[in-house]
Amino acid sequence: MAGTLRTGVVGCGGLGPSEAKISHEMDGIELVGVVDVNIESAQAVADEHGVKAFTSHKELLNENLDAVLVVTPTSTHREICVDAANAGVAVFCEKPMALKLDDCDAMIEAAANNGVPLMLGFVMRYWPVYVEVHKRLQNGDIGDLKLAWSTRLSGRPPVGVGEWRLSRELVGGTWSSSVHELDLLLWMGGPVASVHGNATFGTFANTDIEDTFISTLNYTNGAIGSLHSSQIYPAGASNFGIAGTKGAIHLNRHSGPVLVTHDGKREEIESEPNSVGMHNQLAAFYDCARNGTTPMPDGHDGRRALEVCLATFMSAEQGGDITLPL
């Protein structure tokens, strides 16, 4: 597909306005319109960029689009993404992909049947710091992987319009945010053979989602991984690390990564600012839309992350390890 790509954004809360702005300012991209069920939200973004505002994604799809960014509550992703793919439009879907594996399968199938890319919004894969860590892992700088771990501890996120983030039926759970870190663990460590999970509930009376969960991953390569996530930790903590037969890499959001080998060598790893990550991610998506290439991450990556999340809560409820695939 040559020439200018016509694109639109569905969802003008949260990340939607930022992704619309980035797209509007990109060479070779024409932002055609934006959508939100709240017309005031859509109109504000539309007015900023001189484009059309709609309240239905189906109206936007009538604008002869080449690509669309889906930045809406998770429970709405299946319908919008399937409709877009069936219209022959390349799809970028923000994380999490869906709430059910069947929804993921429908989205993947629609994209495949119509020959369009389906890319997931796991933006941390495009943060330069994690790109560099992944490269170091692939280059063997820490040897064979034995451990991958991450923490994402914070206070409660905004509840969202209509307080949708308080309902498990709509948001899924705390993992809707920490699925970013889970995707990093899957990107670094590869396929998972089984999952063990623990979760707590009840700190806040106005929600049925978990307060905290811990997921332990048993990789098929013999390594182990862990993700600690909580929304009852307003002090905040965010860390990531990998370790292997030669050494380890550690980082957090407030400092760059450090490589330390088992024989005591230490290296401060430099990278570009992570602020370029969103731009790099959308540029990669539009390149896929233009050339028909396979995106990274794709729908299968989104499905794998959801499968681990679901297995975590199956384990928390039933006890014991949950073997994958589900």
On whether residue 166 sits in a domain, the answer given is yes
| Residue 52: pLDDT over 60 | yes
Do residues 222 and 117 touch, judged by C-beta distance below 8 A?
no
CATH of the domain at 76: 3.40.50.720
- pLDDT at res. 2: 57
Confidence of residue 8 (pLDDT cuts 50, 70, 90): very high
> Does one domain contain both 170 and 242?
yes
Percent of all residues in the chain with a pLDDT value above 90, rounded to a whole number: 88
Which residues make Cβ contacts (< 8 Å) with residue 68, sequence separation at least 6? 7, 8, 9, 10, 57, 60, 61, 80, 84, 89, 90, 91, 92
**Residue range 224-247: average pLDDT?**
96
Sign for the pseudo-dihedral over CA of 150, 237, 260, 273 = positive
Written as one string, the DSSP assignment of 168-190 is: HHHH--THHHHHHHHHHHHHHH-
> Does one domain contain both 187 and 218?
yes
> Does one domain contain both 57 and 98?
yes
> Does one domain contain both 115 and 228?
no
**Residue range 151-176: average pLDDT?**
86
How many structural domains comprise the chain?
A: 2
> Does one domain contain both 103 and 180?
no
Confidence of residue 294 (pLDDT cuts 50, 70, 90): very high
On whether residue 226 sits in a domain, the answer given is yes
Residue-wise pLDDT tens digits, 258-272:
999 999 999 999 888
> Does one domain contain both 101 and 248?
no
- Tokens in use for 217? 């991953």
d(CA 39, CA 26): 25
- pLDDT at res. 160: 78
| Residue 249: pLDDT over 70 | yes
Lowest mean pLDDT among 97-101, 107-111, 251-255: 251-255
- pLDDT at res. 1: 55
What is the pairing mode between strands 90-94 and 224-230? unpaired
> Does one domain contain both 286 and 181?
no
> Does one domain contain both 118 and 137?
no
CATH of the domain at 193: 3.30.360.10
| Residue 304: pLDDT over 90 | yes
pTM, full prediction: 0.95
d(CA 191, CA 125): 17
> Does one domain contain both 136 and 219?
yes
Confidence of residue 170 (pLDDT cuts 50, 70, 90): confident
| Residue 230: pLDDT over 80 | yes
| Residue 39: pLDDT over 80 | yes
- pLDDT at res. 168: 85
**Residue range 45-49: average pLDDT?**
98
- pLDDT at res. 156: 86
E-state strands within 100-156: 118-121, 145-153
On whether residue 301 sits in a domain, the answer given is no
On whether residue 72 sits in a domain, the answer given is yes
Percent of all residues in the chain with a pLDDT value above 70, rounded to a whole number: 99
Helices (H), 115-241: 128-138, 168-171, 175-189
Residue-wise pLDDT tens digits, 185-195:
999 999 999 99
- pLDDT at res. 158: 81
* Containing structural domain, residue 99: 5-122+278-295
Mean pLDDT over each residue of the chain, to the nearest integer:
95
Residue 143, sorted as left (phi over 0), alpha (psi -120 to 50) or beta, turns out to be left
Confidence of residue 164 (pLDDT cuts 50, 70, 90): confident
> Does one domain contain both 313 and 165?
yes
